[in-house]
Structure 1
């Protein structure tokens, strides 16, 4: 990978303790953080336990382990053969498997294994991206921002410049996808170039009772006994270029693939993870966390919990609906429980108050230096005011987004308003999807909205969202929520919106939509009128948000500047879906008083849980093999059992799902898939005492592949010698 820049950050203060206990070495705690590639050489990983050279791990001028990493959908993954074979999580391909499953061929329930390359199934919707290069473009971005005279326009200037850079790079090389990622708000922007592979096919997916064993009961929980892994294969055109699915495509040849260590790991072993963690907020001020705690986390958690119950009940006597909605429920449930964990973590850590106290110490540091006082004296007050303004908007954008996402009728009405508004502009100025050349795509989008609508459930969802909004101080006086709040018959109000609208008839909707003589003002349709009111509300909120973003771009840059001076160190940029490294040790923990969890679970625990039924339904072949003690070559030498999962004190987040867990020699020993419930707070703060990530042990993966899937061809392809 070509190295084009040096990210201006370094590792957190290194802290290690060497204890001599019976002449044994006890590994130190790891550094907190998800380190960008440019920081890897600063970490002294060989002193922490890495047994290979840094060049073998990351070599900007050659081939290294980093080149085996991929981003697959919203997850991570890694190449494990020279034939484009990728290992990732079962839950990362769950949606693709659900799409190709039917009640007759239920691959989600029964699993899927190929007998030949020709039988591999296209994974609809999945793409793979590989980081090929990166460079710092901060100077170019910030120069554009500094040219604007109005602060409120700063965020737009940055966004416009980023679009310009992306367009320039993609025109320069049509084979790549370009993205500019913000590393530090208002300070650092990095251009990443990605190779995109569009033809991804399912190779091996374990049965759901293995890949999702424990279901929501065990989600975010330790001990865990879930075989959360799957294999897919990446294909390209015969000339090696990215291509859509074709029978003529050939397996992709990666620069590097990971070697599997079938002997796995043991307690206190050094491990490291490479992957694409999502968004974290460790560098954000107290009021930012307070906004999440008061508004975002509780409302999203509450609404998703309500929605999960609605969908689940609807599917109880309708297997087809249950199958089709399964991926949606899984995604909602994952977020709902994650947010519950975050709320608990913020409370338990007293995180907001701790950050407030930290900022008081920072303010004292500023006040005691005349030069700092002149530049930063009022900074923290301005940051507080910025977020107090965000508190006034509260949950507004969440309600508006949920209306679009979960109520098809409203989404169509909103599209109608948007389209008619755009039609008032010249063709060249319209949104891309509303241009004449893209009409067919727009019609297909509308067809899909109608196809995926849930007319028997959406009146309840619409009523729920209107009820929520009309009870929130920040929205109750805005239309249409004000009129809904005052309506005596609220069911009748919703019924009137949904039944007396052109949206209920697709042909009539399309006819009116493309009638360019018909203006928005001429449409006498209650749902569309209400959608227009909410469009105006959204526009006002977006304008406020743009002003806040522009202001925060300056304030948070100063906040980071003065914190570096105060702490006398640099710190790691928050995760932002770019490639990161984290490292640690296989280690148990004590989540609460008088409780200790050891770090490795076994097949025995899976069998014990299976007697509870429900989410602990077990695949019968697993039980049969266990009763026979048919463990093959995959027994943990100390436990005398097949290890299933293990925990380690790395710093991971959403997006790290599917990340390879590697041992001290850079060999694959597991696949990361979750965090312990206490570690959901990782997005805001990390701690050695409670931050534990969960991965499926490679020995369980190989045991399932060989004994359950009868897929020895995969072991052979991965060069696993038993």
Structure 2
């Protein structure tokens, strides 16, 4: 499952990669290209077709980004957005209750009046890209350490504030680091904050096959969801959208994916890759394995426990499979051999160029920064990154505490997450009416506190400060039971009351966040001084050398910004077996066993005789994607939507580090199956007519 980056929760693996990468040369449909630098010659050579400026312009505005970490697309003039079920699952769960489980039974709004608001969901549409490389580099030139980071954050805050202006409710601007210091671009988005759920099938068919089928093919998933964006209480009027071609694509047809891949690490330094392989990935897999077992046990305690922990287990199982695949990729001798050879070539090139003399020490400087980080990485992860406090309530408390402090400072001096341009999104998340389940919060928090004690040791000052003489379970129960932060009105009063209100609060999570803020900030400052600034500055030098060697014939690593990938509908050879590019609706019934995760919902069993079982269901293509591409439209040369991306095959997991054209495949729902099932299974005729432009 090509899950989104979960921007609102700590990642299970805090990779030190954000500023350390450089671009790579592309070949054989490889690359996630920015739309202002498309690989026109490569596409024409490999596909016999390349999109023109008008095609790309429409593709940019027809594509959508779900701010929580997914992709989507506009598919009607009335603001209808198509994405994956697993991208709307959080909304579906938030709209559910013990009496009305939409994850189990599905959701269909038969009229617009029945569409329900998704708490704190935001959809972005890219409007413009501006090069701000010189402004950013001028602001940071000659600076080191904390001074570099402060100047970097300040110029980003200034540029985004100028871009947003007085339109913070409808505009969002981000300074995007491309080629890891090689270029900086300002991306301006239109924001839709009134987002409503229109349709979501049952999870049983959206994730048919469950974890056993995840990242595999053949697949039989209707992993789709329909949202609608509103403005001023009315469906948004959308000029650029993708018509849905309900025939779907043909085998061998050229297809294009426009989406927002989250993060790739294809040109990490060798030192970084070796550290990932030796420690980071194995450590994370061990902890995820234990957490997965605990979650599975918790879900056996009752129906409500199973319902409220469902999404968490879903994400944990996916994370485990992803990290396991990444570790296996790094253990492939060919991968590291290729990386060492590439790094050696670039070092040798830089050494021969007098103007690149400053680059020669960049790789060693990054390696030294990684080594230095080892001495405080565990404490930094537990405290500043929040791994010790896995509960929504602590996240809310930290936002209130830091938000109060940061909003009292000039915009250019704030922590980046509290810059003026981004405050509307922060506030929307903070004041979301989404339910918080106390029993589940206690379970998560007690586990993370237990792991904090295990990682830091029982005698660590942080452990003594947080646990005292009590057990993790006792502390978790006391904090959750004593907190009022689940009440949106309480959060709103604290946010609006500022630091005075925060300091007066007796909420135990607020008190904890206040007590831990100073040492956490100190760790953050040390990280910025010893690691982040060193990495960013030397990444710019490496990018300079890479550009000098290759010129512009490269694509940047993924940054959760809009990208274009190209390819063909094509299967692959697995050993001696040829894997065909399509599955059929009929194959779904053949694969069904009646037991989870291969149990079909009642709606499908009832509709079997009405369905055209020969219709294609899922498909694979050679497009290059990664997590964050969930919900991306798959387009044909005419700019019609022919598929909905929801996953990659098992070979695509190594795509974080390299692209293997022979077997790396994108998995999508065929548009033909979307139309057939919306009509004959769900009776969603009005929505289907809208998708078809009727």
Common topology (TM > 0.5)? yes
Q: Is 1:690 equivalent to 2:673 in the alignment?
A: no
Report the CA distance shift for 1:384/1:709 in structure 2 as closer, same or farther (over 3 A): same
Among 160, 165, 189, the residue aligned to 1:171:
165
Q: How many Å separate the matches in 1 of 2:439 and 2:464?
A: 27
Per-residue deviation, 1:190: 0.7
- Quick one: distance in 2 between partners of 1:317 and 1:192? 47
Q: SS in structure 2 opposite 1:103?
A: coil
User: Partner of 1:480: helix, strand, or coil?
Assistant: helix
Looking at structure 2, the residues matched to 138 and 167 of structure 1 have their Cα atoms a distance apart, in angstroms, of 17
- For 1:346, the equivalent position in structure 2 comes to 330
Residue 447 of structure 2: aligned partner: 461
> For the structure 1 residues 631 and 494, does the alpha-carbon distance in structure 2 shift closer, same or farther, using more than 3 Å as the test?
closer
Contact 1:502 1:525 survives alignment (8 Å)? no
Change (3 A) 1:353 1:117: same
Indicate the residue corresponding to 2:556 in structure 1. Answer: 573
Aligned 8 A contact 2:568 2:621 in 1:
yes
Q: In terms of mean alpha carbon deviation, does 445-454 or 421-430 score higher?
A: 421-430
In structure 2, the partner of 1:230 is: 225
Query: Secondary structure of the equivalent of 2:637?
Result: coil
Q: Which whole-Å deviations, capped at 9, do the CAs of 1:125-155 have from their partners, x for residues lacking one?
A: 222111111101111111111264x444212
1:375 Cα deviation (Å)?
A: 3.5
- Whether the 8 Å CA contact 1:282–1:574 is kept in 2: the answer is yes
Distance 1:544 1:277 in 2: 30
Is the 8 Å Cα contact of residues 267 and 599 (structure 1) preserved in structure 2? Answer: yes
- Check conservation: 1:450, 1:506, Cα contact below 8 A: no
Q: Distance in 2 between matches of 1:122 and 1:292?
A: 41
Deviation of 1:600 after TM superposition, in Å, equals: 1.3
Contact 1:589–1:689 at 8 Å: present in 2 too? yes
- CA distance in 1 between partners of 2:245 and 2:541 (Å): 47
Cα pair 1:672 1:694 within 8 Å, conserved:
yes
Question: Structure 2 length as normaliser, TM-score?
Answer: 0.83
* Number of the residue aligned with 2:120: 125
Give me the whole-angstrom Cα distance separating, in 2, the residues matched to 1:308 and 1:544. Answer: 33
With 214-223 and 288-297 compared, the bigger mean Cα shift is at: 288-297
The aligned counterpart of 1:256 is: 240
Residues 601 and 310 from structure 1, CA distance in 2 versus in 1: closer, same or farther, beyond 3 angstroms? same
Q: 1: CA distance between counterparts of 2:680 and 2:690?
A: 16
Q: How far does residue 616 in structure 1 lie from its aligned partner after superposition?
A: 0.9
Q: Is the 8 A contact 2:446 2:473 kept in 1?
A: no
1:479/1:530 contact within 8 Å kept = no
Instruction: Answer whether contact 1:413 1:503 (CA < 8 A) is retained.
Output: no
Say which SS state the counterpart of residue 165 (structure 2) adopts. Answer: helix
Q: Secondary structure at the match of 2:128?
A: strand
Match of residue 4 from structure 1: none
> Is the 1:296–1:395 contact (alpha carbons within 8 Å) kept by the matching residues of 2?
no
- TM-aligned CA deviation for residue 618 of structure 1: 0.7
Q: How far did 1:161 drift?
A: 0.7
Mapping 1:115-264, distance limit 5 Å: 115-146=110-141, 148=143, 150-171=144-165, 173-174=167-168, 175-237=170-232, 246=233, 249=234, 251-264=235-248
Which residue of structure 2 lines up, in the alignment, with residue 55 of structure 1? 53
Whole-angstrom distance in 2 between the partners of 1:647 and 1:427: 47
Go from structure 1 to structure 2 and tell me whether the alpha carbon gap of 1:546 and 1:225 turns closer, same or farther (over 3 Å shift).
Answer: same
1:325-344 alignment to 2 at 5 Å? 325-344=309-328
Task: Give the equivalent residue in structure 2 for 1:377.
Answer: 360
Which residues of structure 2 form unaligned runs of 5+?
1-21
- Higher RCO structure (Cα 8 Å, ≥6 apart): 2
* Distance change (3 Å), C-alpha of 1:177 and 1:614: same
Gap change, CA 1:414 and 1:565, over 3 Å in 2: closer
Deviation digits for residues 640-678 of structure 1, max 9, x if unmatched?
Answer: x22111111111111111111112322211100011122
CA distance in 1, matches of 2:449, 2:540: 42
TM-aligned CA distance change 1:714 to 1:530, over 3 Å: closer
Give 1:699's aligned residue: 672
Match of 1:314 in 2: 298
Q: Aligned residue for 1:600?
A: 582
User: Contact 1:671–1:695 (CA<8 Å) still a contact in 2?
Assistant: yes
Structure 1 residue 704: deviation in Å? Answer: 0.9
User: Are the counterparts in 1 of residues 81 and 228 from structure 2 also a CA contact under 8 Å?
Assistant: yes
Distance change >3 Å, CA 221–CA 477, structure 1 → 2 = farther
Tell me by how many angstroms 1:506 deviates.
Answer: 5.2
The TM-score with structure 1 as length reference comes to: 0.80
Aligned length: 657
Check whether the contact 1:470–1:482 (CA below 8 A) recurs between aligned residues.
no
Cα deviations across residues 74-106 of structure 1 (Å, max 9, x unaligned)? 211112222212211111111111111123322
Rounded Cα–Cα distance in structure 2 between residues aligned with 1:71 and 1:715:
22
Residue of structure 2 equivalent to 1:617 = 599
- Verify the 8 A CA contact 2:23 2:179 in the aligned structure 1: no
Q: CA RMSD in A?
A: 4.2
1:405 Cα shift?
A: 4.7
CA contact (8 A) 2:175 2:184 kept: yes
Aligned-partner Cα distance in 1 for 2:460–2:272: 25
The equivalent residue for 1:5 is none
Residue 87 of structure 1, aligned match among 70, 82, 86: 82
Alignment of 1:440-459 (within 5 A): 452=438, 454=440, 456-458=442-444
Residue 428 of structure 1, CA deviation: 13
Q: Is the 8 A contact 1:182 1:188 kept in 2?
A: yes
Provide, for residues 376-397 of structure 1, a one-character-per-residue CA deviation record: whole Å limited to 9, x for no partner.
Answer: 3333322322222233344444
Matches within 5 A, 1:586-597: 586-591=569-574, 593-597=575-579
Equivalent residue, structure 2, for 1:243: none
Q: State the distance in 1 between where 2:407 and 2:636 align.
A: 58
Counterparts in 2 of 1:465 and 1:253: CA distance versus 1, 3 Å: same
- Tell which structure's C-alpha radius of gyration is larger: 1
Q: What is the CA–CA distance in structure 2 between the aligned matches of 1:111 and 1:539, rounded to whole Å?
A: 44
